Amino acid sequence: MVGITWRPSLVSCNCVTKIGLMHIGVFILLLLSGERNFGVRLNKPYVTRIPMDIPVFTGTHADLLIIVFHKVIVSAHQRLQPLYDCLLTIIVNISPYLKTLSMVSSNKLLHLLEAFSSPWFLLAAPDNHHLVFFLLEAFNNLIQYQFDGNANLVYTIIRKRQVFFALSNLATDSPTIAKL
C-alpha cells in the first residue's frame, strides 16, 4: 500500500504540477499513522518490487516508508519543505510498533538526524529544531518499545554516536551562534 501510494509521489518530486498529489498522499499517511493497526501492519515483509529509484533492501513496509521519506526529504525540493514535519510525525507515530528496521532504513534515519542537527540547518529557521526533536522521539520509541528487534538501529546509533555528541555539545551562546 505504501509503495503504491508513494510511486506517483516519487515521480512528482521533480514535477511542480504534482506537488499537490504529494501533499494529499502525506496527509492520508498522517491520518493512517494515528491508527495502531496501521503501524503494526507495516511490519509485514516487503516482497512486491515496484520500480522506484530507491536502494535495494530486504525488510518490511516500514523500511520502505522510511527509505521513501528519506528520498523525499533529501530531494531538497523547496515546495516539499513544509511536509518535513508531517513526514517525521508519521515516523514518530508508527515508531512504537516497528519490530525491526533494516540496516538501510536505520542508516537513512541517522542520515536525517545528521543533516537536521548540523548547526547551519538548526539555526537557519526558528522551527528547524522540531525536526531533530521528532527524530529523537522516534529513536526513543524504537528503542524503548522494540529494543530486541532493532539491533540494526542500535548498532547504527552506536556507530554514528559522534552525531549525538555534536548535538549535545552544540554551542548555545550568542557570540558563537553569530559566528555560524
Write down the pLDDT at residue 64: 94
Beta strands, E only, the chain? none
pLDDT tens digits for range 102-145: 999 999 999 999 999 999 899 889 999 999 999 999 999 999 99
Residue 74 domain boundaries: 2-179
Number of structural domains in the chain = 1
Give CA–CA dist 111/91, Å, rounded.
15
pLDDT tens digits for range 14-72: 566 778 888 999 999 999 999 999 999 999 999 887 777 787 788 999 999 999 999 99
Does residue 4 have a pLDDT over 50? no
Kindly report the average pLDDT of the chain as a whole number. 88
Provide the terminal-to-terminal Cα distance of the chain, rounded to the nearest Å: 43
CA distances from 61 to 49, 57, 68, 82, 174 (A): 11, 11, 10, 24, 44
Reading the block at residue 5, the C-alpha cell is 501510494
pTM to 2 decimal places: 0.88
